Chains A and B, each alone.
Chain A
């Protein structure tokens, strides 16, 4: 019962802190891995690589254990982690820096990150674009604006995850470096090409990773120099403010082929295989010959639907008796997906060697190709390069590759719920997420969640909350994408605030009030502070 005093303060009952004390078990899978070999063709070189990787893993682990002594390092990979809640980040606008010399909306960003700090968030995520930093000439880097942003973040006291973006963005428009585009005009084969000959120019084809196509250097070498330049330009922030570096692994940074055109609606399109540029075809041919079926290497599958067709329109993905389930299908899909995994491995191991002397944690992003997940063939995943069907768990190989490189896995789409998907797409983001998490758990890879987009749909935040609170096993952090007018709008931000403040946090000692006060650090915020 309340008795209050008129005309003085109104009352505000503090809700009893509703705390869920969670303890996390570390996952350390020491059992020998049994790969699902059924119906799956393994290439000799791959096995070899796997065993080599085993040794590398051991080495990495010992390096890590050294670094763990430093307070700033968060355990990663097969380590255990503390009982604290999921760390929350918010992404900077994609175009926070768009021309290398100016910060766009810096005042808004300054206000925004301050608000986020006060809310008690762990940090922010900053996309750094290849096309901005190394825009004009190979080897000439312009870091100044990004440095200014990092300084801003450091000053506010937030942590930073940096995403090194070797891809281009359509909206806002951030292309690949100008000199790369010029090379692309004379050597179109550096880009992916689909069956109809359409090029995808928002990232370089993985087929040329190790070919000296960029002024005598291979893309991997160029990426490596970029990473090295970044590492030295920000050496004073590495491990103190910059805690995490994420490598762009393909279109939109994700480990996938550009299987669906940017403009088509993702939920319905199955996408197409992207193996028709001359280098991809050459590799395919080589492997077909090596596997004793030279005719299988002449082209991609002929019986796939095109972009606008239903997956069942042609034979390849058909539920029963589709080509995907044939030995040819298995051959092609194994090759196609292994190319992608190898590409991811090249980039992540490149990064782990460049950043080996820092305590930053590495990560890479995979796509959440949830359309058609409820079919047997999972066509959207297959065209994207993830050999995940009813018969074959494609995330095993990916998780294993991440584990090998001690990388965390960024998984987008945690805002997507099954019920918000159109029925006819036979989609299931939730089941897919569970499958990915399971694979990660098995291989000791930590998962960092992301949402797909800021939308007015309250179900998005609900779903995020569900993922963070109820079902956050294996979830290390979550990055909200991303700052901007919509994010701070009265339609979204209050709900965001509520979500953040309603997440549990470990209780602080009563003497710890005087530090930087933020909502999340002040025990449980009585949500909304309403009287009740």
Chain B
């Protein structure tokens, strides 16, 4: 085929006569735009048309012979192979969120406008704080503030869509919402987050709500992190955030400057001054591209030409090689190679594709000897991401030499094996690169992830070594050990993990504190919860707290909270014990809010019975100027993180837990934010307080691939298991992996799919936790049926699961060979083998069977 013979000429003409290049490309552009939509069905004639201009450019180098030849070849060439691949990839689109406060057109009013210059279905999710409300909860804004199209969400927020409105200064399209408000109204702050309905992503400011405060004093004494006195959006530390999903950074310091200027002024009362700030955001949009490949054979030269063409607009590098057999092993073919080709570690070739003139993609042409039976490649994009063919290398079959008379290439066998070894390596290398890197957003994210997982692994191994070394400290002679072992009664359960058959009820919701007498309300339900089959109840955090929900504890020994007072709590615990339910206290050990400011005005001095100083605070959160050691886990930034490596802290916490056990009667713990500190400390606490049962909340970032959740969450599960191991098996952990998948980024099950979630967790191993609101809803009967099925079949926290089906529309599994469950609309019937399956429970998109 023509291009084969042309290749070298092409190089020449490009190099020697660069002025010809535009011309040839221009023509290409023409033919491409003609066929861009139907490349799949391209006939070879279209293809040849495309070639023609190249020939012209070649002609310009006065190689007439070549020209004539190719003309001939062209007519006789056959397209041996032609295929178009659809490439799905993620493109990062950079944009900004802009926030502006200014006097409105109507001079009496002020206007807050929030805009975003990226395409999307943007919704502003917002609320306000009123002047007299010292808490941090949102309230709904007054009616007159709500722009048209606003929808109230519960009783505390508003969702207002952004409208495609004006063009901004640079003439870009802007999605914008404007909120007009009266400066005389009782509004202390406007809080918001931005949501993109298109992708379901939420955009926050430094992990928290955006907050536009109008009152200076709001910051004082609140749980606000990094709040500087002043006005405007909280300025945050400059720096890039390497979010797995979305990267953002400040694009314009000008807003910040404005903010800090103002913050220098004395702001004792409500003051309004306009400002404008921008925050860079990066949105990841899935993009479909195509890659078309065609292979032609030149009968004259007996060479094959592979032609690649893609509409990916950026730089594309093809890592390629050829194979000689069906094993798809990579070899480096002999040259010549297309322009911009380099060897990649002597194991593959990489060729930068040539841009098309129209900027709408690039192309490359590869000439190969006929001895090769296939062309293998993967694509690397400018952001270091890799594209392959559904997990394997792209493979393009070449017309085999058998079709044509061909002399078998003389090969030294030693060389061949050498090459084989090399190519094996390169294949693996490239595969690894592809499979590793395509999972990650970037190398950086990968590094971070890898570091994190290595740390986790190290922690796990160290914990294992610790427990073995510790247990082997020779305190007994062999004889006494043997004696002790015989005396030991068979263990029913180990401390902290219960029997394995627990079913847990989350005995409150995020709004339970509003009643002010939640303990008494729950008191009434105790008997019913017991009769439904629950064996464990998880009560809300009991301590005095800066936030009404209780997760910002202050004085740990003050158990008067928004849920009720200490006496009511004791009565409630007693009641649960009467009906046979054990009670978990929600203890927040990661952080604690301070009572007093230090001399720098930082809130880091504690009061109450545990009047710790700043040595009790980890040193690595600059907001709180702790003088303790560095944190052993992740930091929670809204409050001082407790340094559990301090002996006095651990001693005090152990005492407190023991006090809760004795004084209140708690049977165990639900530990909040346990990834904030090392599992080994948890073991310490559990050893000291000897809970019957303990669970830890180990929220972690779930792995995402291309903006969608990666459904293989083993890594995440492993981290939880690692944490449990570090705690030496004394605490269970919530299966938040499952929760993460089911919730898919929200803090509750997706609406309407709750029962699918319960069908999963109530039939699967783990300790199922049922949310209070769902128990007392129309799901009650279904949940009840599932609970009794679980109890009937004695499914426990370590039951075995055999996944029977996992497809896009159905998941099915068999648990302990006794229960079969199907979730999703797709079809599944339990296999009729040794067991007889009888239908048990059915609901919307789930079905459960029991073996009979």
Interface residues of A (CB under 8 A from B): 1-14, 93, 104-105, 107-109, 111-112, 114-115, 118-119, 458, 483-485, 487-491, 493-495, 497-498, 510, 513-514, 517-519, 522-523, 525-532
A5 touches B201 (CB 8 A): yes
Chain A facing B: main interface SS:
loop
Q: Which residues of A contact B747 (CB under 8 A)?
A: 7
B620 touches A530 (CB 8 A): yes
B704 touches A115 (CB 8 A): no
Q: Which residues of A contact B174 (CB under 8 A)?
A: none
**Complex alpha-carbon distance, A40 and B280, angstroms:** 75
How far apart are A475's CB and chain B's nearest CB, in angstroms?
A: 24
A-binding segment of B42-50, B630-638, B662-670, B765-773? B630-638
**Complex alpha-carbon distance, A226 and B249, angstroms:** 64
Within 8 Å of chain A (Cβ to Cβ): is B715?
A: no
Per a CB cutoff under 8 Å, which of B237, B249, B256, B634 touches A530?
B634
A8-B745, A522-B451 known; A488 and B469 CB under 8 Å? yes
How far apart are A235's CB and chain B's nearest CB, in angstroms?
A: 28
B246 touches A4 (CB 8 A): yes
Q: Jot down 16 A-B pairs with beta carbons below 8 A, ordered by A.
A: A1-B238, A3-B204, A5-B201, A6-B202, A7-B747, A12-B242, A12-B448, A14-B444, A105-B468, A108-B466, A488-B462, A488-B465, A490-B680, A514-B429, A522-B450, A529-B451
A514 touches B469 (CB 8 A): no
Q: Which residues of B contact A493 (CB under 8 A)?
A: 462, 466, 680
Interface string of B731-762 (1 = CB under 8 A from A): 00000000000010111000000000000000
A529 touches B634 (CB 8 A): yes
How far apart are B708's CB and chain A's nearest CB, in angstroms?
A: 11
Number of interface residues, chain B, beta carbon within 8 A = 79
Within 8 Å of chain A (Cβ to Cβ): is B455?
A: yes
Q: Which residues of A contact B466 (CB under 8 A)?
A: 108, 485, 488-490, 493
Q: Which residues of B contact A498 (CB under 8 A)?
A: 630
Q: Which residues of B contact A114 (CB under 8 A)?
A: 461
B457 touches A118 (CB 8 A): yes
Chain B facing A: main interface SS:
mixed
B457 touches A4 (CB 8 A): no
Within 8 Å of chain A (Cβ to Cβ): is B61?
A: no
Q: Which residues of A contact B279 (CB under 8 A)?
A: 1, 3
A7-B745, A529-B455 known; A514 and B433 CB under 8 Å? yes
**Complex alpha-carbon distance, A510 and B444, angstroms:** 10
Q: Which residues of B contact A523 (CB under 8 A)?
A: 447
Q: Which residues of B contact A510 (CB under 8 A)?
A: 443
**Complex alpha-carbon distance, A105 and B471, angstroms:** 10
Which A residue's beta carbon lies closest to that of B745? A7
Q: Which residues of A contact B622 (CB under 8 A)?
A: 532
Within 8 Å of chain A (Cβ to Cβ): is B97?
A: yes
Within 8 Å of chain A (Cβ to Cβ): is B241?
A: yes
How far apart are B614's CB and chain A's nearest CB, in angstroms?
A: 16
Residue of B446, B452, B469 with most chain A CB atoms under a 10 A cut-off: B469
B678 touches A494 (CB 8 A): yes
B620 touches A1 (CB 8 A): no
Q: Which residues of B contact A115 (CB under 8 A)?
A: 457-458, 461-462, 465
How far apart are B224's CB and chain A's nearest CB, in angstroms?
A: 15
Q: Which residues of A contact B158 (CB under 8 A)?
A: none
**Complex alpha-carbon distance, A119 and B457, angstroms:** 10
**Complex alpha-carbon distance, A514 and B447, angstroms:** 11
**Complex alpha-carbon distance, A115 and B622, angstroms:** 30
Within 8 Å of chain A (Cβ to Cβ): is B207?
A: yes
Which B residue's beta carbon lies closest to that of A119? B458
Per a CB cutoff under 8 Å, which of A10, A112, A519, A526 touches B465?
A112
B463 touches A11 (CB 8 A): no
**Complex alpha-carbon distance, A119 and B443, angstroms:** 20
B632 touches A1 (CB 8 A): no
**Complex alpha-carbon distance, A361 and B637, angstroms:** 50
B452 touches A529 (CB 8 A): yes
Q: Which residues of B contact A484 (CB under 8 A)?
A: 469
A8-B745, A488-B462 known; A3 and B452 CB under 8 Å? no
Q: Which residues of B contact A11 (CB under 8 A)?
A: 207, 241-243
A7 touches B630 (CB 8 A): no
Closest 5 A/B residue pairs (Cβ): A490-B680, A9-B701, A108-B468, A6-B202, A115-B461
**Complex alpha-carbon distance, A522 and B446, angstroms:** 11
Residue of B458, B473, B630 with most chain A CB atoms under a 10 A cut-off: B458
Q: Which residues of A contact B462 (CB under 8 A)?
A: 111-112, 115, 488, 493, 497
Residue of A1, A7, A531 with most chain B CB atoms under a 10 A cut-off: A1
Q: Which residues of B contact A532 (CB under 8 A)?
A: 237, 620-622, 635
Residue of A12, A13, A494 with most chain B CB atoms under a 10 A cut-off: A494
Q: Which residues of A contact B630 (CB under 8 A)?
A: 498, 527-528, 530
Within 8 Å of chain A (Cβ to Cβ): is B250?
A: yes
A107-B468, A112-B465, A490-B678 known; A2 and B205 CB under 8 Å? yes
**Complex alpha-carbon distance, A133 and B314, angstroms:** 66
Chain B residues numbered 454-492 whose CB sits less than 8 Å from any CB in chain A: 454-455, 457-458, 461-470, 472-473
Per a CB cutoff under 8 Å, which of B242, B243, B458 touches A118?
B458
Q: Which residues of A contact B468 (CB under 8 A)?
A: 105, 107-108, 111
Q: Which residues of B contact A531 (CB under 8 A)?
A: 207, 634-635, 637
A10-B634, A483-B465, A523-B447 known; A490 and B681 CB under 8 Å? yes
How far apart are A124's CB and chain B's nearest CB, in angstroms?
A: 13
How far apart are B75's CB and chain A's nearest CB, in angstroms?
A: 46
Q: Which residues of A contact B250 (CB under 8 A)?
A: 1
Within 8 Å of chain A (Cβ to Cβ): is B827?
A: no
How far apart are A338's CB and chain B's nearest CB, in angstroms?
A: 42
**Complex alpha-carbon distance, A483 and B747, angstroms:** 43
Chain B residues numbered 223-273 whose CB sits less than 8 Å from any CB in chain A: 235-246, 248-250, 256
A104-B472, A495-B629 known; A490 and B634 CB under 8 Å? no
How far apart are B550's CB and chain A's nearest CB, in angstroms?
A: 21
Within 8 Å of chain A (Cβ to Cβ): is B432?
A: yes
Within 8 Å of chain A (Cβ to Cβ): is B281?
A: yes
**Complex alpha-carbon distance, A528 and B241, angstroms:** 16
B472 touches A105 (CB 8 A): yes
Given A3-B204, A529-B448, 19 extra CB contacts under 8 A: A1-B206, A1-B239, A2-B206, A4-B243, A5-B246, A7-B202, A7-B746, A7-B747, A9-B701, A9-B702, A11-B241, A107-B468, A108-B469, A490-B466, A490-B680, A495-B645, A497-B458, A510-B443, A527-B620
Q: Which residues of B contact A528 (CB under 8 A)?
A: 620, 630-632
Which B residue's beta carbon lies closest to that of A172? B474
Per a CB cutoff under 8 Å, which of B241, B458, B473 touches A13?
B241
A14 touches B678 (CB 8 A): no
How far apart are B446's CB and chain A's nearest CB, in angstroms?
A: 8
**Complex alpha-carbon distance, A525 and B453, angstroms:** 12
Q: Which residues of B contact A458 (CB under 8 A)?
A: 629
B243 touches A9 (CB 8 A): yes
Within 8 Å of chain A (Cβ to Cβ): is B189?
A: no
Within 8 Å of chain A (Cβ to Cβ): is B181?
A: no
**Complex alpha-carbon distance, A342 and B521, angstroms:** 86
Q: Which residues of B contact A14 (CB under 8 A)?
A: 240, 242, 444, 447-448
Q: Which residues of A contact B193 (CB under 8 A)?
A: 6
Which B residue's beta carbon lies closest to that of A120? B454
Q: Which residues of A contact B369 (CB under 8 A)?
A: none
Which A residue's beta carbon lies closest to that of B703? A9
B637 touches A518 (CB 8 A): no
A529-B452, A532-B237 known; A3 and B433 CB under 8 Å? no
How far apart are A454's CB and chain B's nearest CB, in angstroms?
A: 11
Q: Which residues of A contact B447 (CB under 8 A)?
A: 14, 513, 522-523
A485 touches B469 (CB 8 A): yes
Interface string of B610-645 (1 = CB under 8 A from A): 000000000011100000011110110100000001
A5 touches B204 (CB 8 A): yes
Q: Which residues of B contact A111 (CB under 8 A)?
A: 461-462, 464-465, 468
Interface string of B433-451 (1 = CB under 8 A from A): 1001000000110111011
**Complex alpha-carbon distance, A526 and B702, angstroms:** 20
